[in-house]
Amino acid sequence: MSKEVTILDIQRAKAEGRKLVMVTAYDYPFGLMADQAGVDLVLVGDSLGMVVMGLEGTIEVTMEHMIHHIKAVVRGCKSPLVIGDMPFMSYNISVREAIHNAGRLMKEGGCDGIKLEGGVDFAPTIEAIVKAGIPVQGHIGLTPQTASALGGFKMQGKDAAAARKIIDDAVALEQAGVFSIVLEAVPAPLGKLVAGAVKVPIIGIGAGPDVDGQVLVTYDMIGLFDRFVPKFVKQYAQIRNIILEAMKAYKTEVLEAAFPAPEHSFKMPEETLAQLKAMIKE
């Protein structure tokens, strides 16, 4: 199925000065809403491990999990590009395995491109995947799959050396052939410097306003996930409270026999009911 938004559109956005809008989705309803909202990209992120599956992190997410959720999101997205996240250890062992797994996300999941974490060290892997004909989006700064090695879910690039490394990572990914880069949890001035260092779009999540686009986890943005809310998230709604109150109201009405009311029940003709009762008595 051809998309209204293409990889070339994403690549051109930066030169045209047009901001890119990206959100996450993990199932068909949210994919459909992202499509109707008119976003450019939809990421089926391995964050689904935490916000959908209730895991402590993303490490336990498998290829099968990702393919399952990608297929559902793709069904709802006619216009935006759907990007599938490469889960932990699906691209870390060898270039050959990385290409194979990236191909699985594309063939079995049906996504339009893949995303993987890592900078300079993973540039050769990314270059090989791109040469295989698979569009790649990079991810640098805070990389959740290796957050423990980075000191947890904390801002990255605090000192000059660490900040310079992130810039070097962006340059390496551009040279490897990525069509865009997600930059997570870095100081806003560094976000601006990274965006200025490369020609590919930098899509920020906690990277300040001076990048080429923004991405947020939808469950955070609409207040559906409350285990923690990152500093960089703006909540545009509090859907969880609405859903919780609806469930409580439902429980109350069931206990009080107020639901289902006559308008929620199917009717039976009196003649049929009388015949049924007669049959029961026989």
Say what the pTM is: 0.93
Quote the CA–CA distance of 159 and 164 in Å, as a whole number: 9
Q: Mean pLDDT of all residues in the chain?
A: 95
pLDDT of amino acid 151: 60
pLDDT of amino acid 148: 60
Q: What is the pLDDT of residues 44-101, one digit of tens each?
A: 999 999 999 999 889 999 999 999 999 999 999 999 999 999 999 999 999 999 999 9
pLDDT of amino acid 131: 98
- Domain spans in the chain, listed from the N-terminal domain onward: 7-237, 242-281
| Residue 59 phi, psi (nearest 5) | -60, -35
DSSP-derived pairing of the beta strands 81-85 and 213-216: unpaired
The better pLDDT of the pair 148, 112 is held by 112
pLDDT of amino acid 159: 96
pLDDT of amino acid 227: 76
Is there a contact between 236 and 218 (Cβ–Cβ < 8 Å)? no
Read off the pLDDT of each residue in 128-140 and give the average, rounded to a whole number.
98
pLDDT of amino acid 145: 84
pLDDT of amino acid 154: 84
∠119-171-40 over CA atoms, to 5°?
85
Residue 221 has pLDDT above 90, yes or no: yes
Q: What is the pLDDT of residues 92-129, one digit of tens each?
A: 999 999 999 999 999 999 999 999 999 999 999 999 99
pLDDT of amino acid 258: 97
Query: What are 215's two structure tokens?
Result: 């991405």
Under the banding of pLDDT at 50, 70 and 90, the label for residue 187 is very high
HSE, side-chain direction, 13 A CA sphere, residue 177: 15
42 Cβ contact list (under 8 Å, min separation 6): 22, 23, 24, 25, 31, 34, 35, 73, 77, 80, 81, 82, 83
Coil/strand/helix, residue 139:
strand
Q: What is the pLDDT of residues 237-276, one digit of tens each?
A: 999 999 999 999 999 999 999 999 999 999 999 999 999 9
Residue 177 has pLDDT above 90, yes or no: yes
Residue 7 has pLDDT above 90, yes or no: yes
pLDDT of amino acid 149: 58
Read off the pLDDT of each residue in 184-208 and give the average, rounded to a whole number.
98
Residue 186 has pLDDT above 60, yes or no: yes
**CATH architecture assignment, domain 7-237:** Alpha-Beta Barrel (3.20)
Active site residues: 184
